[in-house]
Amino acid sequence: MKAKREALVSLFTAMREGKVDEDIIDLLLLINSIRGVYTTSSCSGRIGIIEEPALGAKPLSRWLIKEHHPIEFEEAKAALKNAEKGLIFLKSQPPIFHVIAEDLERAKKLHELGLASGFKYTTFKVISKRYLVEINATEYLTAPLGRDGKVLVSDDYLRFALEIGNSMLRRSKGRLPRLMENFKRLREELGEDELFYELAEEFGIESAV
């Protein structure tokens, strides 16, 4: 109960500050309204261009552009002008949800739900006696574009890579309505959490689901 309260306070605070992806707000509220279930870090899917000092050096990476919707060729070209040092990649990543379940039974249901919704990389594991379910899809793209501020690909290649990356993002986001419906069914099965509604009222959060 304490862990979920902390997670909800964190979520509602982030919503107040405009730090939550708008196109998954209703889905996050739905998931968190289910008894014995709550979310941690989640993303609605994104595409962008990132500059990495070295392979795998994520903490020191810098996004030149990052959007939760498809990006245009002109946007990508403008962003590339700001490249300075390191490896340059175009990255497209699907929606991902980290969901905590209070017991193994709920974790199994969440795992089955993710797979049934088309998120084929859904997994779950035990962390500090908690069941963490990662609802994840397969549509990942990483395409190298250059190094140390120099773009090493043609405009035709960049257009092609953007076309593929944008298409993968649209495809993965297209599964969100199915995921929403499956979570609604799960809420009917497991019941609603009074703590969610108590804190939502306190923070002035209105849920449409």
* pLDDT at residue 188 greater than cutoff 80: yes
Does some domain include residue 139?
yes
Treating both helix axes as pointing N-terminal to C-terminal, what angle do 176-190 and 104-116 enclose, rounded to 10 degrees? 150
Q: Hey, what amino acid is at 181? A: E
In a domain, 204, yes or no: no
The tens digit of pLDDT for each residue in 58-105 reads: 778 999 999 999 999 999 999 999 999 999 999 999 999 999 999 999
**76 within domain boundaries:** yes
Residue 120 inside a domain? The answer is yes
Q: Is residue 144 part of a domain?
A: yes
In a domain, 8, yes or no: no
Distance (Å, rounded) from C-alpha 135 to C-alpha 112? 10
Identify any residues that bridge with 46 across adjacent strands, giving them in sequence order. Answer: 93
**Is 99 part of a structural domain of the chain?**
yes
Domains contained in the chain, number: 1
This prediction has a pTM of 0.93
Query: What are the angstrom distances between the C-alpha of 197 and each of 35, 70, 100, 206, 207?
Result: 11, 34, 18, 9, 9
Quick: pLDDT tens for 109-156. Answer: 999 999 999 999 999 999 888 899 999 999 999 999 999 999 999 999
Please tell me the chain's helix, strand, coil percentages from 3-state DSSP, rounded to the nearest 5. 45, 25, 30
Model pLDDT, residue 117: 98
Assigned domain for 163 exists: yes
In this structure, the number of other CB atoms found within 10 A of the CB of residue 21 comes to 15
Amino acid present at 7: A
Residues ≥6 apart with Cβ < 8 Å to 105: none
CATH number at 79 reads 3.30.1960.10
Residues sharing a CB contact under 8 Å with residue 38, sequence separation 6 or more, in sequence order: 3, 4, 7, 8, 31, 32, 99, 100
Do the Cβ atoms of 139 and 169 come closer than 8 Å? yes
Residue 155 lies in domain: 39-190
Rounded to whole angstroms, the Cα distance separating 86 from 55 reads 9
State the pLDDT at residue 208: 62
